[in-house]
Structure 1
Amino acid sequence: MASLTLRRVGGSVVATFPKALLELLNATEGDTVEYTFDDGKLIIESKQKKRRKLPKYDLNQLLEEHKQIMPLLKEEYEIWGKDKRKGTELL
């Protein structure tokens, strides 16, 4: 079982949470958490919604991939009439 150390900071006593535990709670510094006591146990729950890790994109790589699939898209564009604008379309 892991443990946390209680420390005095000013007039308060605080527990320091390791980074791995904060990740499990999906919490970070400044977030609000809820706590309850149940059968002598302290239960801490995060109020934060699960954060998604967004992928990082490289513009040059995306443009290169677009060039590679462009021949496949050309037929789709022709089917949908992308090149047959009437003059009032936004795109």
Structure 2
Amino acid sequence: MAVTLHARDPATTPRNVLAATTWTLTPNSNIQFRSGGAVITSITVPAGAQSVTFYVKALSAGIASATITAATYKSYTKTFTVMP
């Protein structure tokens, strides 16, 4: 499943990043993040852009969660159910 990460200001308005910004992706064992066919643990929004797309792959059924963090941004955690 494709996921698009958007950089947003404190008012949740999408904004371009001034410098390339790397986001750390921390999933639990039920899912993994992928880009270009490879498993990834981080992804970078390029300077002048406001988003980047990557993929989530289900590994097993159950409760999945992921935390996404970057310096100077509020962290984001999402929990959801992975169906077989």
TM-score, length-scaled by structure 1:
0.24
Structure with more contact order per residue of length (Cα contacts < 8 Å, sep ≥ 6): 2
Larger strand share, 1 or 2:
2
